[in-house]
Amino acid sequence: MKALRNYLDKIKPNFEEGGKLAMFRSVFDGFETFLYVPNTTSKSGVHIHDSVDSKRTMTVVIIALIPALLFGMYNTGYQHNLAIGADPGFWMTFIYGFLAVLPKIIVSYVVGLGIEFTIAQFKKEEIQEGFLVSGMLIPMIVPIDTPLWMIALATAFAVVFAKEVFGGTGYNIFNVALVTRAFLFFAYPAAMSGDQVFVRTDSTFGIGGGQVVDAFSGATPLGQVSIATNDMVGSFHMVDTLGNPLTNWDMFLGLIPGSIGETSVLAILLGAVILLVTGIASWKTMVSVFVGGAITALLFNLIGSTVPMTVTPIEHLLLGGFAFGAVFMATDPVTSARTETGKYIYGFLVGAMAIIIRVLNPGYPEGMMLAILLMNTFAPLIDYYVVDSNIKRRLKRAIR
């Protein structure tokens, strides 16, 4: 570690004003502050002095994403093996998934960071760290068969139009990773929905070739729900890719088809624990998303006239991107509500809206993405009224 520090100190003069590599100053600065906490602190005003800056915060979120990511890689391989009826053992399964997911992560980071670095260099600003998390989220919320060029295009679009035009990290109105997904969803619907894209049946880098077994169907549980007809109420069961009925336990563990990082509630909860223990995400937002979703699902159960309405609250919370969105997306400190009361309202409405979209709109089997994006729009309004009512309450007290 000492050697790295010395090396950085040695090459640093090259990047300063007048040095021969001055044009890469912000790139160097970005890497240096990523590796080492800068030893400069603010000299005036009221600030908390500690070693956690936003780069360190982002790193913790990445660590929290690791369980879901690793599980997603394993699940990719697992679903593939189910589809071709092979059983090459744990490590080969994982390696297959790893090789399938890795290019997506690389593409997302190269494109996103490339744009961020270029813009920071161009505007002579520091490189902002917001994309560290977005770049990891993007590959985790797309289906495994999404072509790489689509991810690259969508990432570029989201970074420029959802983030940089608003002023960069911390100023964006919408969650960048979700804008990427929304772009993909509306621009290339065939690659983002249906039962062909969530399980990879081809080989990856020459590994895992084979013939798809007859009983195989790659439909996700929510996809099955959305195409079920009304006369199936009561007799409808969600099934896995081979047609066996799914239990809540299967959905909790997450060995089911779905976007890469979203299937395992268990792995996501591990990440949630990390985020809550370190105090980075707000438990208020997370809990109220789940509460909002459960209550709305319960209300629909009472009506129960179509198959989507009969899906139980537990199933709703376990399936699709609900848990992933609640833990990693809704709690985004930039785009969610910032007032403490506002977090309850914001979270509740995200959960409620996600279930409403799932149940009432057959075109969108999954509503979490649209629900969070919609509530992103309203987060400032919620904050405004929370602050406003607080002021009014206090004014009343003062007059008396």
Q: Which residues bind another protein (CB under 8 A)?
A: 147, 149-150, 161, 183, 186-191
Is residue 252 within 8 A of residue 265, CB to CB? The reply is: yes
Which amino acid belongs to residue 167?
Answer: G
Inter-residue contact 215 to 166 (CB < 8 Å): no
To the nearest whole angstrom, how small is the minimum distance from the Cβ of residue 168 to another protein?
Answer: 16
Residue 151: both structure tokens together: 């991810």
In the bound state with another protein, the residue whose beta carbon lies nearer, of 201 and 241, is: 201
Which amino acid is it at 69?
L
CB of 193 to another protein, least distance (A): 12
Residues 152, 107: contact at Cβ < 8 Å? yes
Distance CA 170, CA 30 (A): 17
Please identify, using beta-carbon distances, which residue of 142 and 265 lies nearer to another protein: 142
In the complex, least distance from residue 112 CB atom to another protein, rounded to whole angstroms: 19
Nearest distance, CB of residue 183 and another protein, angstroms: 6
- Please name which of 137, 214, 168 lies closest in space to residue 369, comparing C-alpha atoms: 137
Instruction: Judge contact between 114 and 164, C-beta under 8 A.
Output: no
Spatial contact of 64 and 271, defined as CB atoms under 8 Å apart: yes
CB of 187 to another protein, least distance (A): 4
In the bound state with another protein, the residue whose beta carbon lies nearer, of 11 and 187, is 187
Please answer whether residues 177 and 329 qualify as being in contact, where contact means their C-beta atoms are separated by less than 8 angstroms.
Answer: yes
Tokens 């400069």 belong to 40
> Which is closer to another protein, CB of 179 or CB of 386?
179
Q: DSSP state, 117? A: H
With respect to another protein, which residue has the nearer C-beta, 106 or 165? 165
71 or 174, CB closer to another protein?
174
Inter-residue contact 343 to 292 (CB < 8 Å): no
CB of residue 192 vs another protein: minimum separation in angstroms? 10
CA distance 18 to 80: 55
> 271, 234 in Cβ contact below 8 A?
no
Smallest distance, Å, CB 190 to another protein?
A: 7
**Can you tell me the distance from the alpha carbon of 251 to that of 235, in angstroms, rounded to the nearest whole number?**
19
Q: Residues, the chain, total?
A: 400
Distance CA 167, CA 385 (A): 25
Q: Please, what is the minimum distance in Å from the beta carbon of residue 179 to another protein?
A: 12
CA distance 44 to 42: 6
For another protein, which is the closer residue by CB, 148 or 253?
148
For another protein, the closer of residues 189 and 243 by Cβ is: 189
